[in-house]
């Protein structure tokens, strides 16, 4: 059981908290590149409990900084984005994307001290449609993590942001707990509904066994059961947790599943879910079969607003019970909630802003949950006590060559050897970027 103190460490991500400081030593996604235009409107952005603004300057560079002007603490959200800087409308002080004060417009030149003034600003980088931010303090900042899905050209990828109104941990645990697939998403169907997809095994045997393995970048596990699709073989569904808040869920066949999810804490009770997947990660037949049975991912976003939680909010949400249809639940769908993403949102948000994990009764099927929590706690405590980070924190390549997905082995075969064999034939990591 997770104690109350452990739950506090795992879930609190603001400045000065063990988990918050650990997360700040990694690059995390902050926004979609197309959310900001040169000299366009500044955008409110909340990350790891900090209220920030983001803007793209005249030269195309992205700045992410404290929203408060260091002069009188008026919000730079109301600032003028002009001539490679953001100018506070209160007294005209201006700052570049690095937080340097460029102009103290209301101070005579012989009295200004702009060289002493700086907004707290964070390092940013862009790659293939994503804006990344590094909120740590170390001098030698690592390169962007080489997650396979972020190295694929933007035009080949789908990039979605979705707000989840709950803590980051329960959001990401929805990914690494794949035993829910056979119930939450496919609870009303049998194996006869699937012709050849790997989901046949899931609904034929909803209680697989699990093997876990700690890695340099986090944790991985394999759920295994006799294959309904291929009698005599073993069906494996492999998933990963990657520091500090990434997952690789088994969304399809391993050989095609180029995808990534990141659960970025906005604050302790709100999370931005960043979803990336390669457009051809399933065959058209697999997509059609999945969508017909599971209800697809039919969701709608409300129009964005300018408030701290105004981006990528779902129309179907806790205020309207995710548009649950009880008649559909009785007659067709296990949940009555329309679509896999909405079903995930509903259950993790139903736990409250921060789930009370002292009330849980975990089972062997929760092995990935328990092992991942222990790994996160070890990492957060090690950094808090001695400044020691997981090896992958300074090695962007540690994340390359990893995927979640389904595959088959002979009975008794080594699952890791089978995984490595499939991945060795895949165009992963830097090889994709080079193509």
The per-residue pLDDT for 430 is 44
361-398 confidence digits (pLDDT tens): 999 999 999 999 999 999 999 999 999 999 899 999 99
Instruction: Dihedral sign for Cα 148, 149, 150, 152, please.
Output: positive
The per-residue pLDDT for 139 is 78
240 vs 215: CA distance, rounded Å: 9
**Exposed e or buried b per residue across 411-433, where buried means at least 16 C-beta atoms within 10 angstroms of its C-beta:** eeeebeebbeebbeebebbeebe
- Confirm if 345 and 324 have CB atoms less than 8 A apart: no
The per-residue pLDDT for 201 is 78
The per-residue pLDDT for 339 is 86
The per-residue pLDDT for 428 is 63
pTM of the model: 0.93
- Confirm if 72 and 90 have CB atoms less than 8 A apart: yes
The per-residue pLDDT for 295 is 55
The CA radius of gyration of the chain, in Å to the nearest whole number, is 23
Superfamily of domain 31-134: Rieske [2Fe-2S] iron-sulphur domain (2.102.10.10)
Give φ, ψ of 366 to 5 degrees. Answer: -100, 20
pLDDT along the chain (435 residues), means of 10: 96 98 98 98 98 98 98 98 98 98 97 97 97 91 95 92 97 90 80 62 85 92 89 93 96 90 98 92 63 62 96 96 94 88 95 97 93 96 95 93 93 93 76 46
Query: Where do the structural domains in the chain lie, given as residue ranges?
Result: 31-134, 148-434
The per-residue pLDDT for 12 is 98
Give φ, ψ of 156 to 5 degrees. Answer: -95, -5
DSSP characters over 182-208: IIIITTT--GGG-SSSTHHHHHH-S--
- Confirm if 307 and 213 have CB atoms less than 8 A apart: no
Q: Tokens representing 30?
A: 């902050």
- Confirm if 366 and 211 have CB atoms less than 8 A apart: no
- Indicate the DSSP class of residue 372: H
CATH class of 148-434: alpha beta
The per-residue pLDDT for 234 is 94
Identify which of 57, 37, 219, 32 has the alpha carbon closest to the alpha carbon of residue 126. Answer: 32
The per-residue pLDDT for 431 is 47
Q: Tokens representing 373?
A: 């929590």
333 vs 337: CA distance, rounded Å: 8
Query: ∠387-99-263 over CA atoms, to 5°?
Result: 50
314 vs 309: CA distance, rounded Å: 11
- Confirm if 263 and 245 have CB atoms less than 8 A apart: yes
- The count of residues in the chain is 435
């Amino acid at each position: 059981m997770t104690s109350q103190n452990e739950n506090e460490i795992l879930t609190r991500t603001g400045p000065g908290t063990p988990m918050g400081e650990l997360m700040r030593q990694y690059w995390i996604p902050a926004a979609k590149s197309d959310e900001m235009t040169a000299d366009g409107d500044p955008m409110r952005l909340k990350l790891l409990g900090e209220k920030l603004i983001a803007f793209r300057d005249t030269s195309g560079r992205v700045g992410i900084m404290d929203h408060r002007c260091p002069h009188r603490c008026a919000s730079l959200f109301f600032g003028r984005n002009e001539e490679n800087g953001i100018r506070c409308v209160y007294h005209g002080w201006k700052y570049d994307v690095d937080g340097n004060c460029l102009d103290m417009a209301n101070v005579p030149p012989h009295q200004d001290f702009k060289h002493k003034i700086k907004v707290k600003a964070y390092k940013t980088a862009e790659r293939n449609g994503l804006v990344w931010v590094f909120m740590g303090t170390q001098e030698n900042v690592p390169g962007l993590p080489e997650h396979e899905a972020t190295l694929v050209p933007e035009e080949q990828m789908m990039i979605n942001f979705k707000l989840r109104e709950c803590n980051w941990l329960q959001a990401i645990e929805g990914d690494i707990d794949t035993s829910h697939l056979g119930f939450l998403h496919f609870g009303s169907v049998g194996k006869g509904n699937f012709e050849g997809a790997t989901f046949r095994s899931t609904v034929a045997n909803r209680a697989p066994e699990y093997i876990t393995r700690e890695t340099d970048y986090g944790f991985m596990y394999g759920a295994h059961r006799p294959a309904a699709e291929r009698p005599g073989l073993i069906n494996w569904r492999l998933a990963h947790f990657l520091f500090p808040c990434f997952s690789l869920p088994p969304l399809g066949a391993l050989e095609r599943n180029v995808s990534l999810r990141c659960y970025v804490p906005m604050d302790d009770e709100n999370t931005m879910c960043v979803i990336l997947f390669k457009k051809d990660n399933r065959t058209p037949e697999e997509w059609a079969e999945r969508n017909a049975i599971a209800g697809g991912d039919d969701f709608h976003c409300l129009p964005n607003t300018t408030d701290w939680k105004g981006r990528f909010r779902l129309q179907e949400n806790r205020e309207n019970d995710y548009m649950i249809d009880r008649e559909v639940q009785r007659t067709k769908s296990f949940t009555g909630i329309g679509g896999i993403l909405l079903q995930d949102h509903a259950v993790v948000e139903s736990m409250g802003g921060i789930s009370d994990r002292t009330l849980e009764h975990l089972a062997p099927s929760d092995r990935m949950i328990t092992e991942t929590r222990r790994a996160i706690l070890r990492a957060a405590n090690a950094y808090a006590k001695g400044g020691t980070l997981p090896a992958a924190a300074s090695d962007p390549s540690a994340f390359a060559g990893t995927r979640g997905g389904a595959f088959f082995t002979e009975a008794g075969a080594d699952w890791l050897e089978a995984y490595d064999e499939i991945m060795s034939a895949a165009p992963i990591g830097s090889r994709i970027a080079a193509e």
